[in-house]
Structure formats: structure tokens, C-alpha cells
A and B are shown apart, each in its own frame.
Chain A
Amino acid sequence: MVDVGTAVMTVEMIQASQVGLKAVGAGLAVGLTGVGTGLAEMGIGAAAVGATAENRDMFGLALIFTVIPETIVIFGLVVALLLLF
């Protein structure tokens, strides 16, 4: 005979673990895209600082180029929010 009490507990546990896995997925989405953005910005940022050090007029343009990879982490954030809500 199946123990009814145990079966209910298992379904709750599965539901709880699904929520947990969603949270892990959301964390990975933001975390990994954050790392990707950081890697991309490393090169662009170094070049931007170099260009700005030589020519201050470059500052605005260099800043825009530096933040372009931020889109990657925004995609990650969107995916995380879709997962959670």
C-alpha cells in the first residue's frame, strides 16, 4: 500500500525544488551574462581609457562603446525575470 502522507510530501517537495531550480536558473542567467559582459568590457574599457588619455574629446564616445556589452547582462536579467515571474 502506498503511504498517502508520503506521496503528498513528495509532490510538495518536487514543487519546492522546481522553484529552487528556477531560482538557480535565474541566478545563472544573470551571473554568467555578467561574467560575459565583464570580459567584453575589459578590452573595450582598456582601449577606451587609452584613447581618452590621449584625446579627451573621445570620452563620450568611449563611454558609449564601453557600456554596449551591458546589453548582454540585460538579456540575462530579462531571462531571469521571466523565469521567476
Chain B
Amino acid sequence: MAEVISGPAPYIYVSTRLRVRKAKLLRAEEYHRMLNMSLPEITRYIEELEYKTEIDELAPSFSGVDLLEVALSWNLAKEFQRVLALTPGAMAGFTGAYLQRWDIANVLTVLRGRTQGFRPGKIKEVLIPAGSLDRAVLDRLVVEEAPDRIAEGLRGTHLYPVVERELSAGIESGNFARLENELYKEYYSDLIRVARSGVRGGNEFLQYIQLEIDITNMQNLWRLRSGGATGEIRDFMIPGGRIPVEELNRLGSAETTDEIVDALKKRTNIPALQDAIEELRCGCSVRQIETRLIRFKLEQMDRMSRRYPFSISPVLVYLERKYYEVYNLRAIARGKAANLAPERIQEHLVI
């Protein structure tokens, strides 16, 4: 029977479910408590939360920080697939398109892992099958020896045209950075196309994507500057945001941070984004600036989900928040395993 979806009820249903799930995510004080725990204590602590099934299932095969890391990845993939399963109609289209970023991450992990000689089993541990390429497809890709065989395995998927175009250059240089950039550019242009396709709720989705593109471009700009890159940085920037690529390219060769901050502030009319840009004057490390930008992005996304309570926004906010929960738990686990001081670990958390 054809699925009948009309009216606002499906949006209300899904938004409420994901709001309840968001409320169950870890709070700042819980992260602070975890910073003072040992690794086994952290494992036990999160076992009492949403990660119980994965930890129980993986405990016979892994231990210590590996157990935590693989359990977190599995939980993230499962959770994202569940969200995709419960979103109806146009929302499922937006959510599916948004989750395709995991396909890019997985394919690049497989390519890099195989060219660097890692065993398929080791690569499988770090894959997060949350996108359209499921575990069966990834299992098939991961056993392929040569990069061109991996690319062949992608035939018929949305990634194939870009992979086919850029792969040979990547193999020659031994570096897949350009392929990665091109895949992400294609991904964002696809998202913008989906948002502009006239489907209801597309406008909110577009705002969300543009915010993400702007923040990612700013992060890249700061990374490139700290890495000493001058001149043309156009290729590293994602088109489609509110701040044009030409402007970002010009700012890549700016002399001072103040110059960049002033120029970026002129380009935006969102007060919150202007405040976030103003904070970049702090003279902090690239890591701190990135954390600030991510924190701003999440706050802004929360604000959008309150402004449009029954739209795609609450779904995307949940996906992002969940990702950063796993990111924080992983940072704490890895930090603890490396015997870092809690203050050092805290710098890396997005709370």
C-alpha cells in the first residue's frame, strides 16, 4: 500500500521523538565527572547509558579503549540508521542526503587504509555505516586490494563520478586530499540542490546547510593560515555558503587576523554569527578556534530548531549533537588512554 503522508502530524511526531532523544544525551556536568574517572570506570558509566547493547556485544572481542571506540562507532551508525528509518516523506530525503557524508568518510577510510596496507578487519573497526552504503557494501569494498577495484565497487552509487574522475591523480600523488575535497564539494552542492528542489521545509534545510558551509570554510581558512598556506586557496573552499568563495580566497592572503574578522563581519547579517566571528580575534590556537566555531554552529542550530520546531531542523540538530557526544566520549577515552591531564582533554571537548 502506498504510504500516505500529509499534514504536519508526521513532522510533529518525528520532531518530538528526536527532542526526547536529544534530552537523553550527556550533559556538560556528566563530561566533567567523566574527566576524573579512569578508563574502566568510564566504560562502566556509559554502559549504563544508551551504549549498553554495543558494549555487551563487543566485550568478548575488544578491551580497553578499543572496546569503547568500536562500541561508540557502532552505536552512532545504529542510531543514525534508526533516525533515517523513523523519518517520513520529504524529511527522509533530507536526512538521507545529509547522512551521505558518512559514505564519503567510509570510502576514504577504505581507500587510505588499503593503500597503507591495513588489514580489512582493522579497517572495518573504524567504519561507521551510517550513510547510504550499508555494511554489506563496505564489507565488499574493504576486501579489495587495489584502489581502482574499490572505485569499481562504487559503480552505480552517487560517489562514483567524482571518485572515477579524481582517483588516478590521488593514486599518483599517494594522497587522497583532493579527492576528499571534491567529494565534499559535490556533497554540499547535492544538499543545496535537494534543499532548492521545492520540497516543503527545504528553506529551513538550506539555511542549515549554508551555516554549516560557512563554518566549515572558516575552519579551513584558519587551518590553512596556521599551516602557512598563502595565495590561492579557492580549491579548499566549499561554494554555496553566504560568504562567497572569492572573498574567502582573498582573505587567505590577508596580513592580519583583524583584517579577516572585519571582512567576514561585513559579509554576514546574523548577529550571532557576527559575535562568533568577533571571538576569532582571541589569538587562540587553531584547535580552540575550531571548538568555538563548532560550539557556535551547534548553538545556532539549536536556535533554528526552536524557531522552526516542526521541520527538518530538530532532526539535524539531534544528528549533530549525537555525533559530538560520540566525539567527546572518544576524546575522553583516547585522552585517558594516553594519560593526558583532564584540562588538556577538556580543551578538545565540544560542550
Contacts and interface: CB of A to CB of B under 8 A. Distances in A.
A and B bound? yes
B118 interface: no
A47 B11 CA distance: 9
A12 interface: no
A59 to B, nearest CB: 13
Interface stretch (B2-10, B168-176, B235-243, B279-287): B2-10
A25 to B, nearest CB: 29
B16 A46 contact: yes
Interface string A43-61: 1011101110111000000
Interface residues of A, number: 11
B188 to A, nearest CB: 30
Nearest to B86: A53
B20 A54 contact: yes
Nearest to A48: B16
Nearest to A39: B7
A43 B10 CA distance: 9
A42 interface: yes
Nearest to B24: A54
Interface string B1-34: 0000001111011111100110010000000000
**Interface range on chain B: under 10, 10 to 19, 20 to 34, or 35 or more?**
10 to 19
Interface in A13-70: 42-43, 45-47, 49-51, 53-55
Contact of B7 (A42, A47, A51): A42
A46 B21 contact: no
B20 A50 contact: yes
A65 B9 CA distance: 16
A4 B212 CA distance: 85
Contacts of A50: 12-17, 20
Given A42-B7, A43-B8, A49 B13 contact: yes
B89 to A, nearest CB: 14
A46 B12 contact: yes
B9 A51 contact: no
B23 to A, nearest CB: 9
Most chain B Cβ neighbours within 10 Å, of A46, A53, A54, A55? A46
A49 B20 CA distance: 12
A24 B159 CA distance: 63
A45 B7 CA distance: 13
Contacts of B21: 54
Given A46-B13, A50-B13, A50-B14, A55 B8 contact: no
Contacts of A51: 16-17, 20
9 contacts: A42-B9, A46-B8, A47-B15, A50-B13, A50-B15, A51-B20, A53-B17, A54-B16, A54-B17
Interface of B: 7-10, 12-17, 20-21, 24
Given A42-B7, A50-B16, A51-B20, 16 more contacts: A43-B9, A43-B12, A45-B9, A47-B12, A47-B13, A47-B15, A47-B16, A50-B13, A50-B15, A50-B20, A51-B16, A53-B17, A54-B17, A54-B20, A54-B21, A55-B20
